[in-house]
Amino acid sequence: MNPKHHTSQPISKQLAEAGIVIESEYGWVGFINDNRGEYFEVKHERDSYPPRYPAPIATELLERLPKYLTDEDDMNWHLNISYDDYNTPYLSYQLNEMEWFNAVTADTAPNALALLLIRLTKDGLI
């Protein structure tokens, strides 16, 4: 399993704190280690440890994004995923034909999608 395929533990925690519940097969599980204190690992849900935070993959996050962002005329919205010179995912979205809104930048695509989902939820767009 590649941890870059899942949201990071801090982003997964932000999703939970924003009240966004995503059913995922994987989750961040907390452990206590005498030397390091608490640390987290991504585990499959069938493992014997209950997850602290879900760790969704990009497709699970994309399923939560709506087809329409407003009820007015069922206005479609567009999502643009691009990468900067350092191969960092950058997301922007468009609500109308004229204006693109800068959304989020993150180290991985799942983190960027999760941050976009949190932002759209907090802004009341979804």
| Claim: this prediction has a pTM higher than 0.85 | no
User: Could you tell me which residues are beta bridge partners of residue 79?
Assistant: 93
Domain range enclosing 91: 3-122
pLDDT truncated to tens, each residue of the chain (126 aa)?
Answer: 677 889 998 999 999 999 998 888 888 887 767 676 666 777 776 566 677 888 999 889 988 877 665 555 555 666 777 777 777 777 777 665 666 666 677 778 888 889 888 888 887 777
User: How many angstroms separate the CA atoms of 12 and 27, rounded?
Assistant: 9
Domains held by the chain: number: 1
